[in-house]
Amino acid sequence: MSHVTNKALVFITSNNQVYSVEHQLYTARRQTKEEAEAAKERELEQSLSLLPKNETDLLDVKSVLFPQYDGMIPQRNTKFISYDLDLVNLDKLISFSTRLESTSAILATGHDVFFARFMPEGNFDRLNENFKSPLLFGVIVVLVVALFAAQTYIKNKELKEAFLKK
């Protein structure tokens, strides 16, 4: 089963904050600086070579799409799920899926209890509050009426043609 949203790692920090890290920052498929330079050199050699490409070189598990490997994961203030709340003695973190593809629920417990909806990619599968649903329903009604009118017109036209041929 494939998912629409990217994976994220959610954990409790030493300051009792709930924090998320994107999969791109902790995947083993990130290249080191040396691996990236070696890959560029291989690519340059292959582009200049007249020999056919070696099939084993095509299987490279490291990806240039991910950020380069760094020993430290950068801390971004926008990734704190618990915002700036002062939570005390959090020791358990439970996450579970919801009926929406883009949303998970996070429950952190301990002395305090913290609950939040977590949307790693934003809420792309929900309608905005300013969505104009009456307009949508109006368009659907107009289309149904137009379809009914077209069917009636075609039936009458076929009956007229059949009557005039006799």
What is residue 144's three-state secondary structure?
helix
**Parallel, antiparallel, or unpaired for β 114-118 and 90-97?**
unpaired
Which residue is it, tokens 């083993």?
28
Among the listed ranges 1-15, 22-36, 46-60, 69-83, which one has the minimum average pLDDT value? Answer: 46-60
- Percent above pLDDT 70 for the chain: 88
pLDDT in tens, 79-133: 899 988 999 999 999 999 888 877 889 999 999 999 999 988 776 667 788 889 9
pLDDT digits (tens, 9 = 90+) for 13-51: 999 999 999 888 888 888 888 888 887 888 888 778 776
Q: Which residue has the tokens 């973190």?
A: 93
Distance, CA of 57 to CA of 49 (rounded, Å): 14
The pLDDT, as a whole number, for residue 153 is 96
